[in-house]
Structure 1
Amino acid sequence: MTHLRSKRLPRPGVALAAVAGLVAALGLGATGEARAAEPARVATYTPDASRWADRAHGFASLAGGTTGGAGGKVVTVTDQASLARYAAAEEPYVIRVAGTVAVEPFGSDIVVASNKTIIGVGDTGEIVHGELHLNPGTHNVIIRNLTIRDSYVEGDWDGKTTDFDAIQMDAVHHVWIDHNRFTHMGDGLLDIRKDSQYVTVSYNQFSDHNKAFGIGWTNNVQTQITIDHNWFTGTKQRNPSADNCAYAHLYNNYVSAQVADGDPVWTYGNWSRGRTKMVIENSYYDRVQHPYQADATAELVERGSILRKTSGRTDEWGAAFTPRDFYDYRLDPAAAVPALVKKFSGPQQRIGVTLHVPGAYPTVQAAVDAVPDGNGVPVTIAVAPGTYREKVFIPAAKPKILLRGTGHHRSDTVIVFDTPAEYGGSTGSATVRIAANDVTARNLTFSNDFDEASVELKGEQALAMKTTGDRIVFEDAAFLGNQDTLMTDSPKLNVISRVYVRDSYIEGDVDFIYGRATTVIERSVIKALSRGSTTNNGWITAASTWTGNPYGFLITRSKIVSDAPAGSFHLGRPWHPGGEPNAVAQVLIRDTRLPAAIKSSPWTDMSGFSWKDARFTEYQNYGPGAAESQDRPRMSDEDARSHTVTAYLAGTDGWAPHVRH
């Protein structure tokens, strides 16, 4: 067997010193023994986001790691036939289980092949009356956020006549079982058997059962397994039982309310059997017979756990092993375990599907392509820091995508291309196009770095971003370009789409915020770039609002900056695409600082259409560019009260993305 020592990664979570301080605050002695029989209060202890991390930890993270179906298509299943087809397929899949999948005949297997992620949608995905089965040789499987329940046959408490486990695997490697609920099955809930290796079992609930979780069924000593933050309640034995494991690391598990049937031997918590080397850390045992025990041939090291109203064996002998020789991990204080595990184990509403770029998906577009058409549940595309020179299109059939840069700053993650409108029109020039509804982009930079000064072309439009979908949100984003940087549009003139831009940065020179979508730009910086003129360097906006839409562009609580000379930049002009008379620009700039570069008469005509026929107004702007003039419409206090962020975005469905901040 290959030696498992690996390069350590930076430790997530709290430092050891902080943990030690928290342990002391929660009433634990130096050895972790409780000073009182009752669990300490943990109301001030806040868990971190790593409890929903979408990458395997522990032994499943070693020797190449466990990525499941990453890189494959994402599919959503609602019936047994679809689940069975995708689970057994040769190619990788991320399989989302939506609602209840009832398995027939009762107790049947769903075979899971290699390179699969099976994950419940929200906290309601479940498999009833059936087993997920991994045959020998299967590898790289993730099973998350599911309830698997109810294959128990009345009268078969000992599981002697059926073998209807929730999950069973033989001679597999690299498997991560996380945030599931297992209850009321035939025979075992989770059986990890016959030399399976590199396995992590985390944040699961095991309940209402006799034989909860068994590991082994072999004379070899090969299995390496991490078991953390699981809740065993209303179970009798195998919580877990580990037979001939090379390394079994158990930490922060909660064993409580054990079945009390008077059995003096086969009612127990953890058992280190055969030649297993087991380490138990900071777990909590409440009303458990034989909390942890070891065969004479096995080794068991325990530290930091709490025993409450327990009886029987608490064996400790041998040196076992040092888990941190293999991987880093975060230990929660034992006193905090009951509250944490009750809250965070089992299926969670917030666990979804995250597609990683690069790695699982080499490009942003590849990750978008993996999202299923008609997507009904949010999917996150997490983009690592770097520069991605590609065009990205999110089609209308792929809604509910969160595009998120994972760097510390939006400038760390850049999606950029250099196409001008000369090649494919203004739409074809866009680096990123979003046609889908309910898309959010966060902590990213979108750029079109076409150099308008280097090549003479008929059209210099070069979009960084174009949207036509509804309910689009940009948070902490940057849009870089020159002419036509950001276009917020809709599928057609009389269809209203809404876009909300917050805490962002937009730069350009000519009409660089334009289109007919209802668009709110709040708490952002808008930079008007100089083109070298002393009289006219460009226009910030070019709205084409449908005349039937009272709300076009609202720029509020923001700051416009410029490197252009004083009095050389316009706030906007009215765009009537193709001479469309029913495109009547509506722009309100309010509560915003204006630079000296803004003209005293900041609105101009366009293509024969007078700016005075458009709906251009300002309200309570300030700064050197906000001086009063005759050609500068001001909104009244009364009208300003109805031209708010809420009014612009609410539509008919009450959309209010700004309220969450």
Structure 2
Amino acid sequence: MDRRTVLGGALLLPAAARAEARWDAIVDPRTGTLGKALERAAAAGGRPFRILVREGVLVEKLTIAVPNVTIVGSGPKTVLSFGTYAGLKHPDGNVWGTGRTGTLTVSAPGTTLRNLTIRNSFDYIGAQRDTAGNGAQAVALTIGREADRTWVDRCWLEGYQDTLYVQSRSLFTDCRIVGGVDFIFGGAAAWFERCEIVTRFVPGAAEFGFLTAPSTPLEQPFGLVFSRCRLGREPGVPARSTWLGRPWRAGGNMALTGQSVFLRCWLDAHIKREGWTWMGYKGPDGEQRRLTPQEARLFEYASRGPGAGPASSTRRMLGQADAAKFTRATVLGGWDGFSG
């Protein structure tokens, strides 16, 4: 018997069918691919296109190239995974380089990602063990310069070095971001709210990396801003072993004075007392230089927990008036993610 019901001349669908009708495409990892769903989104020509992904693992390397795509998973066990790393040889004869390694790359505006895990599965620990770590940058999620108004909600982002590369205005809410070296980086104005930022354990490591590497342009008032986040660590990561970050002057561009700000965050004991450190770059004269925390825009306000440290020349604290300038609305230029 047809389970659909006709009432008053209208076709009524069961509740499950009505729920599925909300989606333009539904992906079951056992039988389909997210790549095929994104091809259908491209054919839609930019109209809002909603994709539901059921629980399972998708081994794909993908780009969202059309506007207004929403991808919703079924929770952390909905996994998109791939293992490209910077030093790997590309089919064009060059190496991939950091910017091309993303498991998922967003290169169009108005993208929403929700309830899924995005993972770069490159064997970073094995590469370190075998002293093959050069070119070990391996991005899970890249948000490109054209990807304005990207909202990432309740997602798990997993990698080791360079997990999240964010280059345009973005909002992250209730996410879990896991990595080790410079694992949240880029020049975007981005707001991270109630996120868990987790430092990974690497056997034999003397230090355990840097949470952020901002490359914010000087004329841009806001960079990577973390509000009410929790900075944690995997078992084995020792106390006072991890930097909040270091400023990245990408390509020696003197106009980049990276900004990272932590507002009302809880910090575990793995955070170093000094907070921030320098990052090297090659100046216009070809000489090797250092961009120091004092030259960059690296700040905290009302940090809590065992990793909260005293103010110093490298660990600068905002006053209440300056901290009040950092809100979701100001950082994101009036866009809040919920209004499209």
TM > 0.5: yes
Q: 1:615 to 1:360 in 2, by over 3 A?
A: same
TM-superposed CA distance for 1:356, in Å, is: 1.3
1:446 aligned onto 2:118: yes
Aligned pairs (5 A) from 1:272-287: none
Rounded to whole Å, the distance in 2 between the matches of 1:404 and 1:603 is 36
Match of 2:97 in 1: 425
Q: 1:581 aligns with which of 234, 254, 263?
A: 254
Alignment: residue pair count: 311
Q: 1:413 to 1:562 in 2, by over 3 A?
A: same
**1:629-649 CA-partner distances (Å, limit 9, x unpaired):** 423100111111111111111
Rounded to whole Å, the distance in 2 between the matches of 1:373 and 1:329 is 29
Q: 1:360 to 1:445 in 2, by over 3 A?
A: closer
Q: 1:481 aligns with which of 138, 155, 159?
A: 159
1:656 aligned onto 2:339: no
Match of 2:185 in 1: 514
SS state at 1:372 partner: helix
Q: 1:530 to 1:457 in 2, by over 3 A?
A: closer
Q: 2:80 aligns with which of 415, 428, 435?
A: 415
Q: 1:484 to 1:551 in 2, by over 3 A?
A: same
Rounded to whole Å, the distance in 2 between the matches of 1:361 and 1:229 is 37
TM-superposed CA distance for 1:374, in Å, is: 7.6
**What stretches of structure 1 of length at least 5 have no aligned partner?**
5-58, 62-199, 201-225, 232-249, 252-327, 331-343, 345-350, 490-496
Rounded to whole Å, the distance in 1 between the matches of 2:8 and 2:260 is 54
Match of 1:523 in 2: 194
Identity, % of aligned positions: 32
SS state at 1:474 partner: strand
TM-superposed CA distance for 1:480, in Å, is: 0.6
1:227 aligned onto 2:6: yes
* Conserved? CA contact 1:618–1:634, under 8 Å: yes
SS state at 1:454 partner: helix
Rounded to whole Å, the distance in 1 between the matches of 2:170 and 2:76 is 22
Q: TM-score, normalised by structure 1?
A: 0.45
Match of 1:553 in 2: 224
Aligned pairs (5 A) from 1:494-509: 497-509=168-180
* Aligned amino acid, residue 193 of structure 2: E
**1:350-377 CA-partner distances (Å, limit 9, x unpaired):** x765111138982111111112368342
Rounded to whole Å, the distance in 2 between the matches of 1:383 and 1:659 is 23
Q: 1:442 to 1:230 in 2, by over 3 A?
A: farther
1:399 aligned onto 2:67: yes
Rounded to whole Å, the distance in 2 between the matches of 1:502 and 1:379 is 21
Q: 1:593 to 1:389 in 2, by over 3 A?
A: same
1:569 aligned onto 2:242: yes
Match of 1:467 in 2: 143
Cα RMSD of the aligned pairs, angstroms, is: 2.4
* Conserved? CA contact 1:534–1:565, under 8 Å: no
Q: 1:634 to 1:458 in 2, by over 3 A?
A: same
Rounded to whole Å, the distance in 1 between the matches of 2:29 and 2:82 is 21
* Aligned amino acid, residue 27 of structure 2: V
Rounded to whole Å, the distance in 1 between the matches of 2:163 and 2:29 is 30
Match of 1:383 in 2: 53
Q: 1:627 aligns with which of 296, 309, 316?
A: 309
**What stretches of structure 2 of length at least 5 have no aligned partner?**
89-95, 281-289
Rounded to whole Å, the distance in 1 between the matches of 2:305 and 2:265 is 8
TM-superposed CA distance for 1:609, in Å, is: 1.5
* Aligned amino acid, residue 71 of structure 2: L
* Aligned amino acid, residue 162 of structure 2: D
SS state at 2:303 partner: coil
Rounded to whole Å, the distance in 2 between the matches of 1:543 and 1:625 is 21
SS state at 1:613 partner: coil
Rounded to whole Å, the distance in 2 between the matches of 1:597 and 1:373 is 48
Q: 1:354 aligns with which of 24, 27, 32?
A: 24
